[in-house]
Structure 1
Amino acid sequence: MSHSPNARRPASGFRGTRLGELARRLHAETGVGYQKALGAVMAASAAGRLPERLDDDGVDLALRHMLGQETAVWAPDLLGSSWPVYYRPLLS
């Protein structure tokens, strides 16, 4: 399978892997094609609309943010009301 030299690909390394994971999850949640989801993820990343930290919680927060869901419900703490401080710039 050959790829177009102009095709968008996730950045290399850990963040690139996480961008691809986010695109796959967005694709699964919305039913849009993977390439369209990847384009949306790459555009959000370029515009600074994704958390700087893309660990498991960061990918989940980014997905919820891109889907327009209430992020407090999905918070990783037991009370479901707050995200760690390093995610808060995305939420403000």
Structure 2
Amino acid sequence: MSDERSSIVSLGIVIGFNLGLSLLLLWLAGWFWQWRGSLQTSERELSIATQKTQEFSSKNCPPVSRATPIPPENSLSVSTNPE
């Protein structure tokens, strides 16, 4: 009777361990799947925001190539000769 009871207990421990491990792996897989989906959503939102920013700047900003360059400070010639 004692031998039969200990085998039932050890069988219950093995089944419980396997069930717990399976649930843990399922939870980890679900967490990874959700994280992967949110990552793809972030990339998609970022690309949409970048596209809208480029469209806005191309419509509302003047071209930068027409701007006059600022000369460096040392290029200004100041005469210090008192003559």
Task: Provide the TM-score with structure 1 as the length reference.
Answer: 0.21
Task: Provide the TM-score with structure 2 as the length reference.
Answer: 0.24
Which structure has more relative contact order (CA 8 Å, sep 6+)? It is 1
Bigger helix share: 2
